[in-house]
Structure 1
């Protein structure tokens, strides 16, 4: 679990598929003065080769996070050539313009709830990244201060995510609830929840 407390408050939870020693999911996030960027990668299958694929994605984002989301999706696809492949979701929050940019290929879910209860649920492109030519759908949204977000791989199953993100619940409370239900799974699982403070 990780927490930042400047322009954003964020918590991450991850578990490995029962019987495996390496998690096939990967994630990375970082906050700078100007933006916050987060990536979740779900390597196909599980174990060593899924881990190798998701790690390639998170490493390229860590090295190049200043680039645009569009460019980063292309870089992720490039580094997955001749690897297992991965579902990849990237979003980047620009604090000064109060805008976030989102792109996803594969079965990773993202939700953003505004303080007045409005839900933004951008749909991903089906498939996965593997180095082959790929279509990217990059979306831009404005956000209000204190909006909450949740992003998760398909290994995280939770009934009633909308209720979980109710405006009166703090992000820490939500994170604690996720942790309480975050047991061993038949799949690798990653979930990141946060609040855009400004």
Structure 2
């Protein structure tokens, strides 16, 4: 399990390959600078080598260009998937100074933001997947509160009651619940759980 912690954030992430395959068709990248946190989760279509290739291409292009806007990163992600199988892609970027974040998703990846007063925000993704073809993106901007939690996961993670999971638990506890109970062995599965501290 990956763990990042600083004055601004605490994040846990992990992934499991379908049927314990050598290659996972999901890929993620998390990076923090002095000014922002960037997270990308890509779920390559299907599983195995070609799903891995698509997902890894997305996370690499975001890693190389993480200073860009979310809209730009979605466009770059789409471009690198030409002649590849395609991928569902979600990108989350939190601006620490403004206390706001941008989020965009195409495909079957879920994102939740949970505040200390119990409000759950769930932006709907654009259906489909990125494949190099012309694509519409819906990038949304949200203010966030200190100590809010966020959860990003691929469709291999099965959750029944997200609000119940996120309330009254630390993200460390949530991460271990997710890892132990929600990761499916019959699909590639990845989650990123974090808290924006200030």
TM-score (norm 2): 0.97
SS at match of 1:12: strand
Q: What is the CA distance between 1:182 and its match in structure 2?
A: 4.5
Q: What is the CA distance between 1:130 and its match in structure 2?
A: 0.3
The equivalent of 1:20 in structure 2 is 21
| Structure 2: runs of 5+ lacking an equivalent | none
Do structure 1's residue 133 and structure 2's residue 147 form an aligned pair? no
Superposition map of 1:21-170 within 5 A: 21-166=22-167, 168-170=168-170
Structure 1 distance, partners of 2:93, 2:71, is 11
Counterpart contact for 2:159–2:182, Cα < 8 Å: no
CA RMSD of aligned residues (A): 1.0
The equivalent of 2:171 in structure 1 is 171
Q: What is the CA distance between 1:178 and its match in structure 2?
A: 1.2
Distance 1:74 1:50, change over 3 A: same
| Structure 1: runs of 5+ lacking an equivalent | none
The equivalent of 2:2 in structure 1 is 2
Q: What is the CA distance between 1:140 and its match in structure 2?
A: 0.3
Counterpart contact for 2:157–2:184, Cα < 8 Å: no
1:151-192, Cα deviation, whole Å (9 max, x unpaired): 1000111221110100x2111111111122145511100011
SS at match of 1:18: helix
Structure 2 distance, partners of 1:19, 1:180, is 15
Q: What is the CA distance between 1:20 and its match in structure 2?
A: 2.6
